[in-house]
Chain A
Amino acid sequence: MTAPLLTIKNLTVTFPTPKGPVEVVRGISFSLGRERLGIVGESGSGKSMTGRSILKLIRPPGRVTADEMVFDGIDLMGLRERRMRELRGARISMVMQDPKFSLNPVMTVGEQIGEALQTHRPMPRRQLRARVLEMLEAVRINEPERVADLYPHEVSGGMGQRVMIAMMLIPEPDLLIADEPTSALDVSVQAQVLDIIDELVRRNGMGLILISHDLGLVARYCDRILVMNGGAIVEECAARDLDKARHPYTRGLLAAMPRMDEDREELPVLDRTAWAAT
């Protein structure tokens, strides 16, 4: 086996509060190869903070510490902000939850996608335009010529999310972090967007971290799953073995989801007192 793409040891994220510092991520460790890793958990479990700290996007007063955070041989913890900026987008990029708030409203779709590439690899304008159109096609947008000249408010949510994916993948990064990439989308569009991410990740041999609260979705699109609760990883398993999960929290989450062929009179509710202290 080759060296992992990303290794994290004892990552902790702390925020100060009037009642003293609160640890939102409590010393988690994991490593990632060129594979698809899912991080699941409920709100406040620290899953998004984990994703953001890999890109060093947590601003003071938040504090990130780790014994080790190495991406492809580069020590991220010791990296200066300037060098970090060269890495962001070019080698590690992130798809955010809501295209409405993450795209620049006063730039056309094509300009934004082009900017993402131009920043890291300057090239003549004509060549850039061709790459942008090619990328829009890769995310299955019909009439890329027309869509490239639209502004974000002129495209639908699903299309906006595909534009964001195009923007994040055009510099051909090695690692893509997708933080709830489809939560703002309709179910029918969700599958489409995830299929596109999946296809591009496989084709380019990238690593993917898919962060979501939806266990079923993560199980469908990932190889390996980390379940987080209260800032800690409570369970790690292969996606296909999710139904054999052993931790009471994971089992509780699985049971609490209504099923399509639901015939239970009542849904089991998590007993938070049992392990909330962990």
Chain B
Amino acid sequence: MNKRVGHHSLRQRLLTSMAVGFAIILVSIAIGIWSYARDAANHSYDRLLSGAAFAILERTLVTPTGPSVEIPYSALELIGLAESDRVFYRIFTANGETLTGSENLPLPEHYNPTDQPVFFDTHYSGEDVRFLLQGRFLAGAGYGDWVVVQIGQTRIARDAFAREMMINAIALLLLVTVIGLGFVWFGINRALSPLIGIERQLRHREPTDFSPIVITPPREVASLTRSINGLILRHKKSLDNAQAFIADVAHQTRTSLGALQGLLESASRQADVKQQQVRIAQAEEQTERTIRLTNQLLSHAMIIHRADNKPLERKVFIDVVRTVFAEIIRDYLKYDTDFSIDSELDGDEETFVMLDEIGIREALRNLVDNTIKHGKAPHKIGILVRKTGGKCLLIVDDNGPGINEQMYATVLERFSSMSSGSGLGLSIVSAVADRHHAELRLGQSPDGGLRVEMVFPVVEGEQA
């Protein structure tokens, strides 16, 4: 698969969309993890603070001189498990009297002593500090009031813990992402391998090899393979046709020119002027036939060529038929022929068909030509345009000899003339019909001659 500028790469598209998807998931999970990690870190280290607060509160007591506290060594050791963190504490009574510790620790607004722990974060002594406040109601020796322990710890260990959790989780996620994208890459390659197989088979194929592609395709590319094989078959048929056509053309031309040469030679050898005149007249006739043959061959080639290169145009059907027919009548004025044209179209101006005007002209011209060639004067050619359902019919009747029903299939092939003549006429009509996706039917005309029906699909609406 060559990477060409301007071509999409399936692989790139898939990878990009997967990567974007992964990135979105990654970011949202990361946000979730960060808040989770912070909560988890707070949870863990808040327990240290709580434990220390309990230990201290347990050692608060009422002495004859008022409340007092003996801070157990283990309480601070416990908080010291967060090794790099600074610690601040204060033990105070409900009226704000400090028993021990730092005098001026910050308090939250409206703090009322309670035995429930109250945690809050604030900035103190140049660092972020998490504080715990917890109270105990002390009673005895005529004293009864709240004693509150406040412990603060800098956030270093908590933040480090949260950061580590975060980094580990993100690293894991990134790993999963990379592996996932790896799988995607692998999967894409696997999925695309039948296409690559097809491509390889086509690339290494000899120009003369028209055998179908042999691979066992997955469902998704089976129809592609079928289409390619169909194309190969059609291509082969068309090439066969072209070869046969060239062979036929060569043969016909040689025969025709050979006959002409023979007539001219025999004319030149004739001593008798009268006989010579006869031979020359015959040669002229042969020349005319050769010209006609050549015209037909060119006409046929042109139809095929146009089919390959010129798109059909959306036209009002009856207009085209009238124009073309008028032209033909002009060309055949010297023959004793009765032309007629009739339309049964309802609102015929509205009936559009996809047409190649030149194709239609060639078809009609060949039909007229055939009638004149094979029939006897006075000739009669009638054109009838009719519409049935979504179809538009162009019917051409003549009063020639007609064609035997068994011969219908044969006459549509090239060079199958039943008498003198090239036999190309009807095959041109057939090619034109193919080009227009029109159905071609042969039959008998009311005058005993041939009836040719071409059934065109009608185009609806305004758009081409």
- The answer to whether A and B belong to the same complex is no
Which residues in B have some Cβ–Cβ distance to A below 8 Å? none
